[in-house]
Copies of this chain bind each other. A is one copy, B any other.
Amino acid sequence: MDQDQKQQILNRLNIIEGHIRGVKRMVEEDAYCIDVLNQTRAIAQALVKLDALILNRHLHSCVITAIRSEDVGERERVIAELMQVFERIH
């Protein structure tokens, strides 16, 4: 992964971490349940966007390299991993 992409992913993780701390403050101050749920759902969506960034990078690097190699085992390995990502999302 190049430095820019790495920094972009770290920035998003920092924002998500700050968001979690915000939810902790809401709970400590007895915020309304539904308002808390709205924030946790927003964090879940931010995680999905982070995953899309990581997956896009993965497809453009490791997956292309493995599929273009002559090593059939390598190809099968990256495809099996993609299927696991797909299944874990649901």
Q: Chain A contact residues: over half helix, strand or loop, or mixed?
A: helix
Q: Which of A1-52 contact B (CB under 8 A)?
A: 1, 6, 9-10, 13-14, 16-17, 20-21, 23-24, 27-28, 30, 32-34, 36-38, 40-41, 43-44, 47-48, 50-52
Are A51's CB and B62's CB within 8 A? Answer: no
Residue positions of A touching B, CB distance < 8 A: 1, 6, 9-10, 13-14, 16-17, 20-21, 23-24, 27-28, 30, 32-34, 36-38, 40-41, 43-44, 47-48, 50-52, 54-64, 67-68, 75, 79, 81-90
- 5 interchain pairs (CB within 8 A)? A33-B55, A34-B58, A59-B79, A63-B67, A64-B75
